[in-house]
Amino acid sequence: MKVISLFFGILFFVINPVLSQTVDLWKINAFTPTLEYEKSIAPQWTLAQKAGITFSGSLPPLTEPFVGTGVLYQIAPFYDIQTRRYYNFNKRIAKGKNIENNVGNFITFRAQYVGPEIASSFVRYSPHTFKIGPYWGLQRNNGSLNYYFNIGPAFIFDDVGNRAIWPIEVEFRLGWLLKKKVNSSEN
């Protein structure tokens, strides 16, 4: 019995990295014009970078004095970078579910820069805002349709000293896979 357990244990560790390999992906998002590149950096890790135009809103505002009521919004260019660790590939494989094109749940550390606004319902003290934080997310595909969801706390600051913590920030993206790059380890 020990020999069989050892055999399957070794088999799991030999096959596991091949089955759990992330791939390089190019994506375009629909809600906000965004181009994203997700680079495979390890068997279950990627480095995702995206740039485009974002729509964001907040309650309460980061500026003062606040005049008016309702949700504050801004439309601005942004750059976002995050490391993603897909932690449930093996569980998905065991259940017969797909992991192709990095389908799975992930934890991530994210950093984002938001530039000068194109349109806004409030006055910012600085045209440069930065955001960092840990997030949990999931990514799914239906053919070439791609969607993902991130949620987590964010520390937000600008270049003149303003700062705030958003206890829960939510991001949802819907778009298309443009190109899947085959990794050299898959050839």
pLDDT in tens, the chain (187 residues): 554 444 444 434 444 444 458 999 999 998 889 999 999 999 999 999 999 998 877 665 455 555 455 677 889 999 999 999 999 999 999 999 999 999 999 999 999 999 999 988 877 778 999 999 999 999 999 889 999 999 999 999 999 999 999 889 999 999 999 976 554 444 3
Give me the count of residues in the chain.
187
Whether the link from the prior residue into 65 is cis, omega within 30° of 0, is: yes
pTM attached to this predicted model: 0.78
Tell the residue number behind the tokens 């045209």, with chain if given: 127
Please check whether residue 132 is in contact with residue 169, taking contact to mean a CB–CB distance below 8 angstroms. Answer: no
Tell me how far CA of residue 29 lies from CA of 50, 121, 148, 162, in angstroms: 10, 24, 10, 30
Burial of 162 (0-12, 13-18, 19+ CB in 10 A): middle
Q: Give the DSSP H/E element, type plus range, for residue 97.
A: none
Give the torsion sign (CA, 78, 147, 170, 104): negative
